[in-house]
Structure 1
């Protein structure tokens, strides 16, 4: 035959892909976005890690992992290319901190405190609360009554990322102050040789001072 026949081919399928990491340890809110697909018939479908094909460019609600991305020609479903680069969805370190308490100094007082130290993980900015109360950035909770407290830490930049610290902190109180007292009368009218003797003081720190009638 005097003419030749040329068999052409479409351009190779290709695209770019980038990931957004999860915002909290063990979360599943990462995303992969495919961009600039080219080649083939011009209509595309995508999948990650051998999953379901989709036309949309965004894969959402992803857990931390390394993902392979495939692109195929929508009009030629057997024409599939795996993109040369994988996309890794990372996660921040788990939120953690230490906490210690200082007991109240007197029975039924409310001057205890809890100090949080060495917070780590997440974005690096933190807020704290005790017993489900108000969040604060400060590390110290003051004016606490005797009780057992749970401490939560959250990522200030991802408020839904909350971890309850393991264990609790107990603010104790000393035993109530108590003692006995007995008097010896004066021995003569208008004398001043009476006395009061305090005995068996208990409670508090174990060291005591006494006064009578509001004196010294």
Structure 2
């Protein structure tokens, strides 16, 4: 079996370095679709990205640092989509807000899977300065969301915390059903739960 040729070890220009980092993230993401996180190694990522292992470590010190970057990318994309949709629709009622959240939460399984890892693995094992930077960026982005919702900022924060918890629970239930060979029965329940949470938080 032939082994893909490795790329040149050093990316020199800013564009090459950016592309190399993107290649690593995409390689990790491809592997993660079929390999559980605990079984995935940096060696596998390096091979998938056609890089020497030492080159991989020029960009990410640990697997946790790599997956925190992947989570940041997915969460940033969703928050930007959410902000854009809020600008378009200007929701005024709790049901309006629920509609926007549901519309922007489709096809987000990679993000939900990464959120499951956040509290259990990534926050504990990634470099503290990277975790702090991640939290600061997410706080800035969520503040932008809060400005576009018809609720007080503290209500919006509670709502996003509930959405986080709902998404993690939904993902874990979905994975359990998938391992049992059962079609996902939870999508409608998620929609109902999200609407109920938005209404309850808005009235609190």
Q: Which has the higher contact order (CA 8 A, sep 6+)?
A: 2
The structure whose residues are more often strand, as a share, is: 1
With the length of structure 1 as denominator, give the TM-score of the two structures: 0.17
Report the TM-score when normalising by structure 2: 0.18
Which has more helix, going by share of residues?
Answer: 2
